[in-house]
Amino acid sequence: MTATSRIVLRAAVSIALIAVCGTSLAQTFPSKTVRFVITYPMGGGSELTVRPIAQRLGERWGQQVIVESRPGGSAMIGTDFVVRSPPDGHTLLLSASSEVSMNIVLFRKMPYDPIQDLQPVTLVTRTAPVLLAHPSLPVKSMKELIALARAKPGALNYATIGAGTPQHFAGELMKTTFRIQMTHVPYKGAAPAIIDLLGGHVPIGLTAPTSAMPHIQSGRLRALAVTGAQRLGALPDVPTVAETGAPGFDIGQWFAIWLPAKTPKDIAGKIHGDIVAIVQSAEYRKRQLELASDAVGSDPETLRAIQRADIEKYRKLAAQIGITPE
């Protein structure tokens, strides 16, 4: 049985237990508009991941389900808003991995504790950042980019969706791995980063493939490499960074759904069951695959384990590449 199959099986068992143990609170939920808070601007990977979930939930629940963007503060503004919201199930967080794991490594003080203050619902999708170049840059591969960066130390800027994100870690790890100098330019999300990449204002960048795919397919941006351990199914001809002379290079990205910590378990269980049914549907899987993401739909315990593992992974990685908490 594969790792993904085990995750799906555990989720199915969890859903069955929830169905047996539901109470009147879950039966009357939702009683008003439900909102998903994303921590990056509209138009990026977060919105593309959660928008179809919100639409399907609205149909299923007979209540309005909206998506609300609260970006800024290295994705901590929106996360903290959810943490402080009433724990009644009507406010959910769609997070990337940074605001619930990596930021612990990057900031000495955070307005919330991502372990204690958030209740896991489900892992939604997995993917890996993609390294992009504007067509005007005279490189068509990772090796050519490394050669250019070495020939012109410090001359290249690279964009990411923000400080403390997988894209940021991938860029800094590339610098130390290949002994090159580049300047990090953090943006507040994928949408503004891609706008500047398309305009040639920054020559290279790292974003989630979810928001970059249309521009890669049109030729307006060139995909040089992906930072995960394996090539992406939607970009089979784009090599991994590891293939270019960096064995073991593996920086992935995921999106997940969370609730305020004190949300009643029966309400959280109903939300989990309904969301996982959508995420594991053929329609949603197909839609995400077209955006170079794999839909998962896990049980809450698996998501918590992934979160804890990432915190330890990036703590060690930060020490390796010289990133210190701010």
Tens digits of residue pLDDT in 34-56: 999 999 999 888 999 999 999 99
Q: Where are the strands (E) in 26-127, listed by range?
A: 34-38, 65-69, 91-96, 118-127
- Average pLDDT on 243-267 reads 95
Residues composing the chain: 326
CA–CA separation, 114 and 32 (whole Å):
26
Determine which helix (DSSP H) or strand (DSSP E) holds 196, and give its type and residue range.
helix 190-198
- Average pLDDT on 115-123 reads 98
DSSP string covering 60-88: HHTS-EEEEE---TTTHHHHHHHHTS-SS
The model's pTM is 0.82
Q: Is pLDDT above 60 for 82?
A: yes
Percent of residues, the chain, with pLDDT higher than 70: 92
Domain ranges of the chain: 3-126+252-321, 130-244
Task: Determine the CATH number of domain 130-244.
Answer: 3.40.190.10
- Could you report the per-residue pLDDT of 287-301, keeping only the tens digit for each? 999 989 999 999 999
pLDDT of residue 15: 54
pLDDT of residue 325: 85
The structure tokens listed for 24 are 């009147």
- Could you report the per-residue pLDDT of 181-213, keeping only the tens digit for each? 999 999 988 899 999 999 999 999 999 898 899
- Could you report the per-residue pLDDT of 6-37, keeping only the tens digit for each? 665 665 555 555 555 445 567 899 999 999 99
CA–CA separation, 28 and 5 (whole Å):
32
pLDDT of residue 189: 87
Architecture of domain 3-126+252-321: 3-Layer(aba) Sandwich (3.40)
Contacts of 266 (CB under 8 A, 6+ apart): 18, 21, 22, 23, 25, 26
pLDDT of residue 188: 87
Q: Which residues pair with 93 in a beta bridge?
A: 37, 258
156 to each of 59, 119, 192, 207, 223, how far by Cα in Å? 47, 41, 19, 17, 17
